[in-house]
Chains A and B, each alone.
Chain A
């Protein structure tokens, strides 16, 4: 039933590790996004894919690599994790050119 789902919900890992967050949407949307929400609750877009094509790529370290195997999935892989990567990561989806974005429940990443 869940429209936009993310796994895992919590992720605790050590500095230097590589981790992935998965996102799936069952809304039939063709555009998906990754956002980062920092400890001060500030939300910032990282990436957006439309039909598996990267259309938004903000100034994000290249340790972050999104991958979209199909238009219903957008995964985020993070290499060589740093303390500053600790945040909540949200996946979202929308129709291309559409106004409303539907957000997932978030993945809280803690790097120790």
Chain B
């Protein structure tokens, strides 16, 4: 059962543009929603995260928008840079064991 659906699968954005990745979840027990960034050959690394009682969180060029009633959240990358080219995973977290359920990933390519 895929509890976190992520789109698009891949995304090509020009340098300076806005990258938008969307996720939808089913499990209402999720209490934390992180985004992880993964570069080729590396492990995922936490980029930014949000709790469901907040509708938006911004850290530098990265913003999460969260819609609890629609069970959807999205990542916006402003002024996208070639160094942002990576695979991005949204996720939901449940319980004290901090069980991470990942989305299917979005491969972002930022072109010059």
Interface size in chain A (residues, C-beta < 8 A): 28
Q: Which of A35, A41, A106 has the most CB of B within 10 A?
A: A41
Interface size in chain B (residues, C-beta < 8 A): 23
A106-B42 contact in complex given A48-B97, A98-B98, A101-B98, C-beta closer than 8 Å: yes
Contact indicator per residue, chain A 59-82, by CB within 8 Å of chain B (1) or not (0): 000000000000000000000000
Partner of B102, one of A43, A94, A104: A43
Contact A56 B99 (CB under 8 A): yes
Q: Count of A-B contacts with CB under 8 A?
A: 62
The DSSP consensus for interface residues of chain A is strand
- B-chain residues with CB within 8 Å of residue A90 when the two chains form the complex: 43-44
Nearest-CB residue, chain B, relative to A103: B43
A106-B43 contact in complex given A99-B32, A99-B34, A99-B93, C-beta closer than 8 Å: yes
| B69 in the interface (beta carbon within 8 A) | no
A31-B44 contact in complex given A41-B87, A41-B105, A42-B105, C-beta closer than 8 Å: no
Which residues of B are interface residues toward A (Cβ below 8 A)?
Answer: 32, 34, 36, 41-46, 49, 87, 89, 93, 96-102, 104-105, 107
